[in-house]
Structure 1
Amino acid sequence: MPTALLWFRRDLRLRDHPALLTARDAAGPDGDVLPVFVFDDRLWGPSGAPRRRFLLDCLAALDDDLGGALVLRSGDPTRLLPALVHEAGATSVHVSADAGPYGRRRDEAVERALGDVPFVRTGSPYAVTPGRVTKRDGSPFRVWSPFARAWREHGWRAPAPGPDGVRWRTAVRSDDPPPAPDLDGVALPPAGEAAALAA
């Protein structure tokens, strides 16, 4: 049975998730999708307590939505993901494209480390992928108002359909998440996809 690995990053949801649909299609009707989140030291380390706590709450909600199938790993994705691909026998790795400088460098390094295993970028965590809305000559906007008008003219895609027919891979070892920080009375909004849709 083929396994497609889906690496969750900013897109901690199941609806409107083009990379999830691509992973499902890559696995095929007899395959499964392995959902993974990596606590990347470069991102986790400098995060403050509220951000860490909200991320942990979102991951707990996502794991509930996945029926407990979410695999957590902590450390360098360039080392962890190839090892996990080997461990699970995954035939491809799927992500939403990252437009940030660190994210692009990290993804290129992971792609090199995967060797012959395809690293598939689909969609973006944004309504319109960064870099798509440009001036007529292809250069970036420097002023907000013309950019906003061009962004509205460009429009954005309708939400991707729900992920019907996904078989989640289970029985893969998952690390414990890092300890939840004490927020010292700071109140956070409810976490997870259902809470976001309700808001």
Structure 2
Amino acid sequence: MRTVMVVFTRDLRVRDNPALATACRVADRVVPLFVADPAIEAPPGRARFLLDALTDLRASLRDLGGDLLVRRGDPAEVIARTAREAGASQVAMAEDVSAYARRRQRRVGEVAELRLFPGVTVLPAGAVRPAGGDHYKVFTPYWRSWSASPWRKPEEVPARVVLPEGWRGDDPRAVLGEAPPAPVTGGESAGLARLEDWAPRAGDYAGLHDALAEDGTSRLSPYLRFGCVSPLELATDPRVPEAFVRQLCWRDFYHQLLAAFPRLGTENFRPGAREDWADDPEGLAAWKAGETGVALVDAGMRQLLAEGWMHNRARMVTASHLTKTLGVDWREGAAWFARHLLDADVANNCGNWQWTAGTGTDARPHRRFNPERQRERFDPERVYVDRWRA
């Protein structure tokens, strides 16, 4: 009997999970595994979201007859040891492009037969390339190529997941410990429920997604970050408008950028971009606390601290204020967002920070977002500002 191990990383779902679906098709036994690396310390909000997601994933796998093994330790060592014990001939994982994910994939490939699958993005990072180059540096031509490219079909949920005889899974909380409550419940079930709640309003997305006081955004970004919902299923959902699909394309764009430029989180992407950042610890501290005295900036930063999420328009305004007005290094802001945002990942967090700071892919690197003009346009009745500055 053939046994395959499926290692979950940023694909914490059973719907449209190519690694899981393929393993269930080709193997008699499947060992679902999640490994928490103690070298990575998740902020409290993301730790709780992850616990919720793993608990929900385990319940889904058990409904299919399987279970989820949860372990702590060095991923390569744990995967190699568990694969030997289970008699797994192959390890299946979703391919990812961060420096950490690439190291993990390389090390796992050294100790086991590893096969990588799509699923973190709509299209894999290298699926579309410009003529004469390995990646796109400008979004619009990427959007055209991305939209015209063939996409794989979403995978069906496996009919059954069969563990090797005598094997059983683990309660994620028993292995990883508890975490403080988070503003949002994690997991595939919660993500799909959020989609169903938003879908009736999705048709208004193009007109409302910039309105700061409206519930016009999907708020699915944390579920995409952890792979609780499939970006491909969202992109192919007939209820989802093109304006939202374009945002999914931006997400893919930054992943292909990170794949080509692994130092996106630490170095300026644009050659010759500024490095003369200000040393302003007091200004940085006030920005972090939402105490700059600039209404929209403070509202956005306080929403971040309260919800682990911030409206995208407010993200651009707060980032512009830190880098263009205070002159503080974008890396300081990216690190603060990474600490507090439930949806933070290297590709999108640092890609967007560099875009706003003028060190990334923006064709107008000196662009500024005037907070008061932005408030007048997108929060004219001051509802958002008053809500978060009260």
Q: RMSD between aligned alpha carbons?
A: 2.0
CA distance in 2, matches of 1:131, 1:33: 29
Aligned letter for 2:70?
L
| Structure with the largest fraction of helix | 2
CA distance in 2, matches of 1:41, 1:124: 25
In structure 2, relative to structure 1, the CA distance for the partners of 1:60 and 1:105 (3 Å cut) is same
Equivalent residue for 1:179?
177
1:39 aligns with 2:36: yes
User: Structure 1 regions of 5+ residues with no counterpart?
Assistant: none
CA distance in 1, matches of 2:179, 2:187: 18
Equivalent residue for 1:126?
121
Matches within 5 A, 1:11-26: 11-26=11-26
Equivalent residues, number = 188
Matches within 5 A, 1:1-199: 1-27=1-27, 31-43=28-40, 45=41, 47-67=42-62, 69-114=67-112, 118-169=113-164, 171-172=167-168, 174=170, 176-183=174-181, 186-188=182-184, 190-198=185-193, 199=195
1:74-128 deviations in whole A, cap 9, x for unaligned? 01011111110111111111111122221112111111122xxx21112231111
Q: Which moved more, 1:100-109 or 1:174-183?
A: 174-183
CA distance in 2, matches of 1:165, 1:179: 29
The 3-state SS of whatever aligns with 1:38 is strand
* Contact 1:92 1:119 (C-alpha < 8 Å) held by counterparts: yes
Deviating beyond 6 angstroms after TM superposition, the runs of 4 or more aligned structure 1 residues are none
CA distance in 1, matches of 2:163, 2:149: 35
1:56-80 deviations in whole A, cap 9, x for unaligned? 0000001111117110000101111
Q: Measure how far apart 1:150 and its partner are.
A: 1.9
In structure 2, relative to structure 1, the CA distance for the partners of 1:108 and 1:164 (3 Å cut) is same
CA distance in 2, matches of 1:103, 1:93: 15
Aligned letter for 1:182?
P
The 3-state SS of whatever aligns with 2:191 is helix
Report the TM-score when normalising by structure 2: 0.45
Whichever of the two has the greater Rg, that structure is 2
CA distance in 2, matches of 1:162, 1:194: 14
Q: Which moved more, 1:3-12 or 1:59-68?
A: 59-68
Q: Measure how far apart 1:2 and its partner are.
A: 2.4
Report the TM-score when normalising by structure 1: 0.85
Aligned letter for 1:37?
F
* Contact 1:66 1:168 (C-alpha < 8 Å) held by counterparts: no
CA distance in 1, matches of 2:160, 2:67: 15
CA distance in 2, matches of 1:173, 1:196: 23
CA distance in 2, matches of 1:137, 1:162: 39
Q: Measure how far apart 1:42 and its partner are.
A: 3.2
CA distance in 2, matches of 1:82, 1:197: 33
Aligned letter for 1:83?
R
CA distance in 2, matches of 1:192, 1:76: 24
Q: Measure how far apart 1:155 and its partner are.
A: 4.7
* Contact 2:19 2:93 (C-alpha < 8 Å) held by counterparts: yes
CA distance in 1, matches of 2:124, 2:169: 33
1:14-70 deviations in whole A, cap 9, x for unaligned? 11011112211331xxx2111100001233x1x211011000000000111111711
* Contact 2:93 2:116 (C-alpha < 8 Å) held by counterparts: yes
In structure 2, relative to structure 1, the CA distance for the partners of 1:124 and 1:138 (3 Å cut) is farther
The 3-state SS of whatever aligns with 1:6 is strand
| Structure with the largest fraction of strand | 1
The 3-state SS of whatever aligns with 2:25 is helix
